Amino acid sequence: MFRRFTSFLCIIFFLCVHSRGDNVLTKFHLNGTLSCITNAGFRVPFVVWTLGIWEEDAISDDHLGDVYHFILTDAGAFYKTVVQDDGDGLGEPFYELFYKITHNCNIRGEKRESKVCLKKFHVENGDYYHLRNINLFTLAQDEVKCNVFN
């Protein structure tokens, strides 16, 4: 009886681990423009050091990649990147992507890190294309949880 129960537990464990989405590969094609525009509508010179792409998880967030090179335009700093993830863990049907952006777009010009949540993406094989223009001046310094966004 004990062997049957142990075998049953092993089979359940194997099925749970095997079905967690290991054979899922999702690519994210992300682009947009970062700007620094005050509430009064003035453009402010700014620097962006990095734009990190992360996937929020309950225990530990997954780092998917970084952007270090930006194309300067009249609108701001343009970014474009492709990152991928291979599933979001056991029982998680959505990716909750967010950016960690290191910049100095604020009243004092001090270096800061801001978190910007993107939309939720279904865990599935394939490609997602997402455009996100961001005014860095309006970002909060408070910690933001992305799983509350749609």
State the pTM of this model. Answer: 0.79
Residue 103 lies in a domain: yes
CATH number, domain with residue 118: 2.60.40
| Lowest model confidence (mean pLDDT) among 25-29, 96-100, 120-124 | 120-124
Residue 14 lies in a domain: no
Instruction: Find the domain containing 64 and state its range.
Output: 21-148
Residue 4 lies in a domain: no
Say whether pLDDT at 51 is over 60.
Answer: yes
Look up tokens 């860095």; give the residue.
136
Residue 5 lies in a domain: no
Average pLDDT of the residues in 133-138: 95
Residue 74 lies in a domain: yes
- 19 confidence band (pLDDT: 50, 70, 90): very low
CA 108 centroid distance within chain: 27
> What is the C-alpha separation between 49 and 103, in angstroms, rounded?
6
Residue 11 lies in a domain: no
Average pLDDT of the residues in 112-134: 93
Residue 110 lies in a domain: yes
| Number of folded domains that form the chain | 1
Decide: 34 and 79 in contact? Cβ < 8 Å. yes
Q: Under 8 Å CB-to-CB from 71, ≥6 apart: which residues?
A: 77, 78, 79
- Beta-carbon neighbour count of residue 91 at 10 Å? 9
Say whether pLDDT at 78 is over 50.
Answer: yes
